[in-house]
Amino acid sequence: MRKQFVKTENYSRFTAGIAAVEQRGAAEAGMMLVHGAPGLGKSHIVGHWAAETGAVFLRANVDWTPKYFLVELAKAIKVDPSGTAQQLFGRLLERVVEAQLPIVIDEAEFTLHNKAVALEKIRDLSDRAEVTVVLIGMDRIQQQIGKYKQIHGRIAQVVEFQPASLVDVAHACEQLSEVRMAPALMAEVHRISGGRMREALNVIAAVERLARLNGLKTVDVADLEGAPLAFDWQSRTPKMVRIGVAGPNRTACAAGGR
């Protein structure tokens, strides 16, 4: 499978949110929340943006404390992590202000333990440095942060990731697959993945593997009918290709692209 970044509708929503944060009126309200169900591509999309812009990407841990966050940030931006929390905060603030470094915190639920003291420290740094901070979390994180008014009031934009559309999945198939997929098979990739882009990528890889085993350069639904392309761990059953499930309208949409 090709190594390439696919710009989906979630990517468009995210970049629109970033643009709005960067154009905010209140300098201290520089935080953005990205949330949604697992597998929708939150970390992948925000990580790609961070790599392009030079933002610092950190993944929170279950045992994060304010000092733990400061040390992890210091390691990431090559600042001396020694000394007291107050001394370290001062060095980090100076460096972040000087470089105007945006900061991303993935798995931000872990910053909410112990009355959100770790997130309070992140908010303090965001306030004083006036840089963009992106928090990435699961479905309920917006309600959880809502309990802390001082933090919630600093969030300038909220972007909820949605399941990938058929157009998104078809676009991914076209860009990433090293075998050509018929529109009906792209629709099956969408159905089997349920719009979860992480699973869609695994299904595309499975299609490629089966195509190679059968010596196929172009693959249609009939070539893979009954083939298991993924596994449903809840029902403990394979997810198999079916002919005629997608329907003509969905197939036409896949063929039409964006």
Regarding whether 200 and 114 lie in a shared domain, the answer is no
Report the distance separating Cα 135 and Cα 36, nearest Å. Answer: 12
The whole-number pLDDT of residue 28 equals 65
Regarding whether 13 and 129 lie in a shared domain, the answer is yes
Report the distance separating Cα 233 and Cα 237, nearest Å. Answer: 7
The whole-number pLDDT of residue 26 equals 64
Residue 256 scores a pLDDT above 60: no
Residues 6+ apart with CB under 8 A from 254: 166, 167, 169, 170, 183, 184, 186, 187, 190, 246
Report the distance separating Cα 199 and Cα 227, nearest Å. Answer: 16
4 in a structural domain: no
Regarding whether 151 and 46 lie in a shared domain, the answer is yes
Regarding whether 30 and 88 lie in a shared domain, the answer is yes
Report the distance separating Cα 80 and Cα 145, nearest Å. Answer: 31
Per the CB < 8 A criterion, the answer to whether 156 and 220 are in contact is no
For residue 7 the two structure tokens come to: 């710009």
Question: How many Cβ atoms sit within 10 Å of the Cβ of residue 149?
Answer: 9
Regarding whether 197 and 90 lie in a shared domain, the answer is no
The whole-number pLDDT of residue 235 equals 81
DSSP per-residue letters across the chain? --------HHHHHHHHHHHHHHT-SSTT--EEEEE-STTSSHHHHHHHHHHHHT-EEEE--TT--HHHHHHHHHHHTT----S-HHHHHHHHHHHHHHHT--EEEESGGGGSHHHHHHHHHHHHHHHHHT--EEEEE-TTHHHHHTT-HHHHTTEEEEEE--PPPHHHHHHHHHHH-SSEE-HHHHHHHHHHHTT-HHHHHHHHHHHHHHHHHTT-SEE-HHHHTT-EEEEETTTTEEEE--TTSS-HHHHHHHHH--
The whole-number pLDDT of residue 30 equals 86
Percentage of the residues of the chain whose pLDDT score is greater than 90: 82
Regarding whether 81 and 39 lie in a shared domain, the answer is yes
The whole-number pLDDT of residue 14 equals 98
Residue where a domain terminates, one of 112, 137, 160: 160
| pLDDT category of residue 240 using cuts at 50, 70 and 90 | confident
Q: Where is average pLDDT lowest: 78-87, 169-178, 180-189, 234-243?
A: 234-243
The whole-number pLDDT of residue 22 equals 87
Residue 251 scores a pLDDT above 50: no
Which pLDDT tens digit goes with each residue over 104-129?
Answer: 999 999 999 999 999 999 999 999 99
Which pLDDT tens digit goes with each residue over 122-178?
Answer: 999 999 999 999 999 999 999 999 999 889 888 999 999 999 999 999 999 999 999
| pLDDT category of residue 254 using cuts at 50, 70 and 90 | very low
Angle at 258 between CA 201 and CA 39, to 5 degrees: 30
Regarding whether 114 and 42 lie in a shared domain, the answer is yes
55 in a structural domain: yes
Per the CB < 8 A criterion, the answer to whether 184 and 220 are in contact is yes
244 in a structural domain: yes
217 in a structural domain: yes
Phi, psi of 161 (to 5 degrees): -75, 140
Which pLDDT tens digit goes with each residue over 184-232?
Answer: 999 999 999 999 999 999 999 999 999 999 999 999 999 999 999 988 8
Structural domain count of the chain: 2
The whole-number pLDDT of residue 25 equals 61
Residue 24 scores a pLDDT above 60: yes
Q: What is the domain extent for residue 214?
A: 166-256
Residue where a domain terminates, one of 128, 160, 192: 160
Regarding whether 150 and 111 lie in a shared domain, the answer is yes
Per the CB < 8 A criterion, the answer to whether 170 and 190 are in contact is yes
The whole-number pLDDT of residue 245 equals 61
Q: Taking all residues of the chain, what is their mean pLDDT, rounded to a whole number?
A: 91
The whole-number pLDDT of residue 159 equals 97
